[in-house]
Every structure is written in structure tokens, then in C-alpha cells.
Chains A and B, each alone.
Chain A
Amino acid sequence: MAFKFKKQIFGFMDLLRFKKLVPNRRAAFDAASSAPLPKTYKVNETAKILHPGNQKARLAEITLVTADTKTYTFELSKKMFFRAGQYVELTADVDGSTVNRPYAISSSPLTSLREGKLSVTVKKAGFFSNWLFDNAKVGDEMIIGDPSGFFHYEGIKDAEVVVGIAGGSGITPFYSMAQAIAEGSEDFRLILLYGAKTEKDIAFKKELDALVSDNFKVVYVLSDEKNKKYENGFITKELIAKYAPEDFTVMACGPQAMYAFLDKELAAMGIGGRRVKKEANCVGVRDVKKAVYDLTVHIRDDVYTVKADNRETVLVAMERAGLRVPSKCRAGGCGFCHSKLVSGKFSIAGADKRRLADLKFGYIHPCCSYPDSDMEIIVPAGLE
């Protein structure tokens, strides 16, 4: 030993001190309180308001917005606070099977926090939305999930002004934002370019007009109707330039066709990257020749074999078979349906949004994967 460590005058005192470590700790335990341990903590309780998880909600009001669109207002069983622009997953029992879809929230954040109410505005456009439109009634109990998604203002990186571009039912998140700006839960300027087919397709016209202020402006753009009260045609670069200031962030929500058009317009304006945000759309069916495969699904210690139509996603196949499996964004991005592929081939709709290690170890997102052969997967348990 090259040197001998010594702290106190007599080295044995250092050794004695070491021997006291255990008695010291016992003494600290002896001196502690025997009061019952806390059941929860303030930060954890606030976290539950921001992320309440799945909760029961009672349908309290249904309002017809346009001929094919209704607003469904729920009474929440748990308080909730979110960023305007986020979506929730809505789950209901439809003819004996559990069905869920993500819908943008159309009410304001403080309405959920203070009044315990939350609204989604849904256009009749598919299996679940048709069912809602025709069958949902006041008093029905459904399940509402966590507020999710990143389609909201981000003060640290976004410009002070947002040019919102809404196409059809893509108005919903912007309506929430306009209310949030008015109530003070969001702090930015929104110039909304809202594209609808005809005047009667404009949702929330009265409400939006009433919200106009220094921080919120709305411009209606009709594509299928010439009307002098409004802008006409598509939302072009000229139209954007007409209303936008020098520096702005674009937030767009609408159908895929609108994005395709908008991408070209923005590219021509030299706007992209960090200044553009688009809300993702749910993955739909693919146009291929029909084939039906066997899909073997492991959930905990249960094994199911179900039929999978290759035109629909693996997630839809499991849902059609009545399996309770996790889903949230239905666009491949949130990773909530993250499942282990044991065997089989698949194709991904759109861009691959999985993590790198998921590719390496063979994990898939069933919500955006179409089966190309028989498949076997291990899936986390769904709603319970």
C-alpha cells in the first residue's frame, strides 16, 4: 500500500467511525415518524389532471353543427387540462364490440379543467362517426382517453403568429385554439384560413366570428361556391401572403389532398421545416386485391387466431374480431399499439415512424401496418 489514508489524529478513530455507519442508520430509522405513508403526492395528482388516462364520460349534449357534423359534449368523471389542438380517443360499444377513434377536442382547455366538460366535433365520414351521428344519444356512457398529440402552439420555437390552415372538419382543433386564446390558456396570435366547400359547410361561423380579436382573425375560403362575402378557390400561396405577416408558423389540419396542394404552395414560398406543422390523419384502407390471412395474437397468456383482410390494418383486424387491444393516434406515430412481430410480412402505410430499435427487434405499430401474409404478434393488453 503506497499510502495510508488518515483523517483524524489517530487512525483507529477513522475505523471506529466506519463501524458507526450501521448504528447511525438504525438510529435514523428509530427516530422517524410512524405516521401512515402517503397514498399520493401533489405532483402525481397534478399529473393525473394532465394525463387522466381512460375515463368514463357521460354524453351530456349533442348539437348539429352542419348537415353532416355534430358536436358531442361530455361530462368528464375526472378533471382534465390540455393544450388546445390536442385530440382524445373516444371509445364506445358499437353492436357488442369496442370501437375507438381519435378526435380533435373542439372545446377549450379551461372548460375541461373548471367545468369538467369536453367536446369533440365529428363529421359523418366512416364506421364510428356514422354510428355516432345516427345512434349516440344524451345520457350514453363512453370512454375518453388522455389528451394527446403535438398539434399545438409551441412558444419556444414557433413564431408569434400562427397561420392556421383548416380544411373541412380540420377546423376542430383551431376552434379550440381560438377559444383558448380568448380565455388566456394559450398565448399567441392566430390567423385562420378556413377552407370549406360551400357556405353551408362552414362550421362554427357564428362562434368564430364572435371570437375575433387582436389575437384571432378568421378568413373563410369557399372552394365550390362563388360568394362575394368570402375568399374563393383553394388556399394558395397568394392567399396566404395576403393575410400573413413576415414571420409566421403554419399549422395545417385537413384532408390528405389539401396537404398535397399546400406542400407545393409553401415550398414555392420557401416555407418549411420548423415553421410547418401538419396534423396526421388516421390510416385508412389500402387499394389492393383482397386476400385474407390468419393473424395469431398473443395478449398476456391468451392466444387468438383471427382473420385479417389485407386491405385493412392489423389493428382493424383485431378490432373486428372483438379483441381489446391498445390504440390511440391510428396514424403510426404515438407508438401506443407497439407490438412484437413473431412472424409474418407486413407493409407500412406512409412513413415508418417506429423507433430504430423497434426495427431491429421486430416491433410493429399495428395501426399503420397491413398484413402481407399470415402473421403472429404479441400485443399489449388493451383497455380494461
Chain B
Amino acid sequence: MKKYDAVVIGAGNGGLVAAIRLLQGGAKTLLVEKHNIPGGFATSFRRGRFEFEASLHELNDFGTPDNAGDVRVLFDQLGVTDKIEWLQIPEAYRVISREEKIDATLPFGKQAFIDKMESYVPGSRKSMEKFFELAEEIRAAQAYSNSVNGQTDQKVMLSEYANFVRCGSYSVNEVLDALKMPKRAKDILNAYWCYLGAHCDDLSFLHYSSMVIRYITKGAAMPKSRSHEISLAMVERIRELGGDVWFNTEAVKIRTGADGGVEGVVLKNGDEIQTRHVIANCSPHIVYGRMMDKVDERIVKETNARKFAGRGFTMFLGLNKSADELGITNHNYFLYDTMDTVKQYDLMKTIESNSVQATVCLNRAYPECSPAGTSMMYFTTLYMSDDWANVKPEDYFKVKDYVANKMIERFEQDTGCKIRDSIEEISVATPMTYARYCGHPEGGIYGYESQYWDGLMPRLLMMAEDHKTRGLRFAGGFSMRLSGYSSAYFSGDITGRQTVGDIKREG
């Protein structure tokens, strides 16, 4: 029987980083992936003369060599930064909301952002400055926490990062109200909320502000050859470090021994890999629901307690006109009905009532991403309930077209750009597509929702307590750092290093 120090199940963003970390820590590592290519959602696909990005809108917290973000620092440590060609995203976002009649385009850079906000919402400056000050301190506290591997000293926290602790239990809206931020500025600042998939009464301020500050001060980046370039670079690195990567290889069981801990992984063809350490880059619902025979009742309860976050829908368009010809001026659009995020969240529960979209025109960041005279766009939304479960197979293609049509109409109405007659290629991914591709329950793309009680801070504080099965840890969008590219990479970093420690301690 083949024997490895550790097996990583799933070559998504979390699994890829975890495998590199394991190898760097000296562990003999096997990465198995049920698909024929790496990356999970971090991939690309070809249609005609276009190569579409499958999911990445912009990579947060990457920065530039002289203003490096944490993801760049991580990629440097992993040894993959230089294997990838990077582009900078030109501006933060354009948000259009119907109810409040907002149409605002925000730049990167703290000062520029505050100035632009002041021009949209006179009198917002003071509260915005406070917001950034708080966010800076939160970032510093997180850096301190990382530097001591989460073993923070309470005295240090209270003396150096007291604001972090003081605002740490509040939602986005609670803190922004305490800062007396004008409503319109709040509305514009909250535009990124759909990237985290929980409304601003639920979403932790720590989580949201630490994301926003990274975007605004470090900018956002994009690999030239789509996220497939990052995923292949990681596989390259794993192989350089002597790791094994097996594609079209599905792990179906995690076998446990007398102590309840991991003893092996069973593959779909019946082969068993002997190992005492597994990093699962998939959901605990799948692992505990299907891949393990004996699961402790406490774990079942804890898994049942979690709430699935947004289920994905993306439309990809290859257009036979340039962005200039079509009048598409921005890289990144958020189109909302309302900036009341609780109300908006509710509207996103059904296929019929959801019209929200986060839309990217990649040519605005990288004009040469498609042939001259063409452009490429992708439109994403999330469903905040399991409404796609109500779609019968025979109606599926019609419902898919219904939503795609609605997205095109909405974009045309809100931006005034006419795109329909220029569509040369179209591809649409629904919750069924995501369910099939990555196996996530209900076609979710955002892991477990960042509800108030299950937000970033409590998850991090309970990391040790959540680790209940010897030899089994989780990486990816369902784990402690929540979903999103940067978060998934960090989860792989944390879990990979923890497992290296486990191997040293437990063998």
C-alpha cells in the first residue's frame, strides 16, 4: 500500500497552498483531485477565440513588490510569485444602486478614496478617516496574531490593539453607525458586501474592514493568463518540491482507526493510501456526511449548525466589439436594487427576485486579454437560499436563459451600454454547474455564511477547539478564514503549517 505523511484532498486554492506548505515542512505529500485540472473554481476555459476567467474578479491583498500585500508575501514564501505574470486592477469599483440613485466610482489609495467619497458625500471625511484608522489597527492586530500563530497575549491585545477588541464583536452597520458615518457614505462603502456574502447587520466589522483596507491600500491584482495560471504555477511548485499530484482521482473515504483518528484515504477505484494526516479542501458537510463512517455526535451537531452561503451563478460573454466601442468604462461594477443590505439579501433568495450582479470587464484591466476589437465580460450573482433546488431538469435550460437575459437587460439599463447584439460567445454557470464541478452542497461558492455567531473572529478564536479529529484539518472556503481567493490561500497556509506541526508531534 502506498504511504504518505499527508494526503490533501482537493486541488482548490486551499489545497494547493496546503500541499506546498506540507512539502516545505518536509512531509511526503500526495494531492488528489477528482477533476482533470487544478484550481477548483480558480481556472479558465476556452470558447471560440476567448479564454474566460472562471471566477476571479480581482485578487485582493496582493499589492506590488514595493507595497506588498499579505498574499504576495505568502506567494513569495511559497515560491510561486515569479512564475505568474501580474496585472494591476485600475480602480476599486463602480457601484450603482437604484433605490438610493447611487452611481459612484471609487479609486484605490486611502487618500484618493476618502477624497472621492467626500466629493460624493460632503461631510463624510471625518468618519471615513476614522474608518481607515480602525481598519489599520485591525490589520495590525491580525498581523500580530499571525506572528504568534494565534496565541495572542491578552495584555498586548488590550494595550496595543484595544480598538480591535472594542469593535471586534460588532457588525459592519453597528460600527459605521457608531462612527456617525453619513448614510450615503455607508451605502457606498458597503458595496463590497456581496464579496463576503452576508448582509451588513450580520457581517463582522473586523472581517469587512480588514478586507476593504487591503483592497484600498494594496490595490488588486490579476494573473495575465487567468487564475488557471496561478493554479498551474502551484502544481509546478508542488512537483518541484517532490510532491505527487494525481488528477481524475477522487477520494471517497477517509478511514479512521481505533483512536478515531485518520489512518488512510480510499480512492474511487478502491485503492487505499495509507496516511495519518488529511487536509480536506472540501466542505465538512461532505467529509462528515459521506466520507467517514463513524462521526462523533458533537461534530454532527456542529456541522448541522452551519449555514450554507451564496450559491453561484455566472454568465460569461465574449463580445465582438471592444470595451470602448461598447462604452464599458469600468473594470468592476456592482449593480444593486438597494444598499439596504438586509433587504437586498432577502431579494437575492429567489431566482425571480434576484437582480444583483457583480460584473467585470477584464479588458479594462488587461486590454489584450481578448483579440483586438473584442472584449470579455463576466457577470456573477449569488442566491441566498436553495431556490435552484426547485428547478426541474426539464426546465433547467430555460431558467438558465431567463436569468442570463435578466442580467443582460439589467446591465444595459443601469449602465446604458448595449451589449446584446455583440455577443459572440456565451457560457453560463449555475448552482448545478458549481455543484457538479466542485461537489459543494447546493452549488454554493462561498462556503459557510459569515453569520454573526460564525464570523471570522469566533472561527479564528476557536480554531484549536474546532479541530476534533486527529489527523483531519480543513482548508478552502468552508474553513476558518471563510471564502474568497485570498482567504482560501491563507486557510491552506494555516492548515498546511499546522499539519506539519501535527506530523512532528504525532508522527
The answer to whether A32 touches B301, judged by C-beta atoms less than 8 angstroms apart, is yes
Of B64-72, B101-109, B142-150, B229-237, the stretch lying at the interface with chain A is B229-237
The answer to whether B178 touches A7, judged by C-beta atoms less than 8 angstroms apart, is yes
Within 8 A of A (CB), among B282-311: 285, 288-290, 295, 297-298, 300-305, 311
Of A59-67, A211-219, A354-362, the stretch lying at the interface with chain B is A354-362
A331 to chain B, nearest CB (A): 12
Q: How far is A22 from B454 in the complex, measured between Cα atoms in Å?
A: 9
A35 an interface residue at 8 Å Cβ cutoff?
A: yes
Residues of B with C-beta under 8 A to A25: 453-454, 458-459, 462
The closest CB in chain A to the CB of B231 belongs to A357
Residue from A24, A353, A358, A384 in contact with B232 in the complex, judged by beta carbons closer than 8 Å = A358
Query: A35-60: contact bitstring with B at CB < 8 Å (1 yes, 0 no)?
Result: 11111011110111111000000000
A287 an interface residue at 8 Å Cβ cutoff?
A: no
- The count of A-to-B residue pairs whose CB atoms sit within 8 angstroms is 230
The answer to whether A3 touches B166, judged by C-beta atoms less than 8 angstroms apart, is no
B90 an interface residue at 8 Å Cβ cutoff?
A: no
The answer to whether B454 touches A7, judged by C-beta atoms less than 8 angstroms apart, is no
Q: How far is A326 from B35 in the complex, measured between Cα atoms in Å?
A: 11
Within 8 A of A (CB), among B153-194: 158, 162-163, 165-170, 174-175, 178
The answer to whether B304 touches A32, judged by C-beta atoms less than 8 angstroms apart, is yes
With A1-B162, A33-B304, A50-B436 known as contacts, the answer to whether A24 contacts B458 (CB < 8 A) is: yes
B424 an interface residue at 8 Å Cβ cutoff?
A: yes
The answer to whether B401 touches A5, judged by C-beta atoms less than 8 angstroms apart, is no
B242 an interface residue at 8 Å Cβ cutoff?
A: no
The answer to whether B248 touches A14, judged by C-beta atoms less than 8 angstroms apart, is no
Within 8 A of B (CB), among A20-38: 20-22, 24-26, 28-38
Residues of A with C-beta under 8 A to B288: 37
Residue from A5, A34, A51 in contact with B134 in the complex, judged by beta carbons closer than 8 Å = A5
B394 an interface residue at 8 Å Cβ cutoff?
A: yes
The answer to whether B301 touches A22, judged by C-beta atoms less than 8 angstroms apart, is no
The closest CB in chain B to the CB of A114 belongs to B394
A382 to chain B, nearest CB (A): 7
Residues of A with C-beta under 8 A to B47: 150
A4 an interface residue at 8 Å Cβ cutoff?
A: yes
The answer to whether A44 touches B289, judged by C-beta atoms less than 8 angstroms apart, is no
With A335-B46, A380-B248 known as contacts, the answer to whether A14 contacts B462 (CB < 8 A) is: no
Of B341-349, B352-360, B383-391, B471-479, the stretch lying at the interface with chain A is B383-391
The answer to whether A381 touches B435, judged by C-beta atoms less than 8 angstroms apart, is no
Residue from A33, A36, A37, A156 in contact with B405 in the complex, judged by beta carbons closer than 8 Å = A156
The answer to whether B301 touches A357, judged by C-beta atoms less than 8 angstroms apart, is no
Q: How far is A18 from B168 in the complex, measured between Cα atoms in Å?
A: 6
Within 8 A of A (CB), among B227-249: 228-229, 231-233, 235-236, 244, 246-249
A209 an interface residue at 8 Å Cβ cutoff?
A: no
The answer to whether A5 touches B166, judged by C-beta atoms less than 8 angstroms apart, is yes
With A5-B178, A43-B442, A156-B423 known as contacts, the answer to whether A384 contacts B269 (CB < 8 A) is: yes
Residue from B301, B386, B404 in contact with A42 in the complex, judged by beta carbons closer than 8 Å = B386
The answer to whether A355 touches B169, judged by C-beta atoms less than 8 angstroms apart, is no
Q: How far is A50 from B175 in the complex, measured between Cα atoms in Å?
A: 46
A206 to chain B, nearest CB (A): 27
Q: How far is A25 from B118 in the complex, measured between Cα atoms in Å?
A: 38
Q: How large is the interface on A (under 10, 10 to 19, 20 to 34, 35 or more residues)?
A: 35 or more
Query: B295-334: contact bitstring with A at CB < 8 Å (1 yes, 0 no)?
Result: 1011011111100000100000000100000000000000
With A25-B453, A47-B443 known as contacts, the answer to whether A356 contacts B226 (CB < 8 A) is: yes
Q: How far is A43 from B396 in the complex, measured between Cα atoms in Å?
A: 11
The answer to whether B133 touches A3, judged by C-beta atoms less than 8 angstroms apart, is yes
Query: A335-357: contact bitstring with B at CB < 8 Å (1 yes, 0 no)?
Result: 11110000000000000011111
From A21, A42, A326, name the one whose CB has the most chain B CB atoms within 10 angstroms: A21
With A5-B163, A355-B226 known as contacts, the answer to whether A156 contacts B168 (CB < 8 A) is: no
With A38-B441, A43-B442 known as contacts, the answer to whether A301 contacts B2 (CB < 8 A) is: yes
Q: How far is A301 from B243 in the complex, measured between Cα atoms in Å?
A: 12
Residues of B with C-beta under 8 A to A382: 248
Residues of A with C-beta under 8 A to B130: 3
Residue from B37, B170, B178, B442 in contact with A44 in the complex, judged by beta carbons closer than 8 Å = B442
Residue from A22, A157, A353 in contact with B426 in the complex, judged by beta carbons closer than 8 Å = A157
Q: How far is A51 from B433 in the complex, measured between Cα atoms in Å?
A: 9
B40 to chain A, nearest CB (A): 15
With A3-B130, A4-B162, A28-B454 known as contacts, the answer to whether A38 contacts B285 (CB < 8 A) is: yes
The answer to whether B37 touches A335, judged by C-beta atoms less than 8 angstroms apart, is yes
The answer to whether B247 touches A357, judged by C-beta atoms less than 8 angstroms apart, is no
B102 to chain A, nearest CB (A): 26
With A14-B166, A361-B236 known as contacts, the answer to whether A355 contacts B423 (CB < 8 A) is: no
Ranked nearest first, the 10 interchain pairs of A and B with the lowest CB-CB distance are A37-B289, A32-B305, A42-B389, A380-B247, A356-B225, A380-B248, A357-B229, A17-B169, A274-B424, A357-B225
Residue contacts A-B, CB under 8 angstroms, 24 given: A4-B162, A7-B166, A7-B167, A25-B453, A25-B462, A33-B301, A33-B304, A34-B304, A35-B304, A36-B289, A36-B300, A37-B288, A43-B435, A46-B392, A46-B393, A47-B435, A50-B396, A157-B425, A326-B248, A335-B37, A335-B45, A338-B247, A357-B44, A358-B228
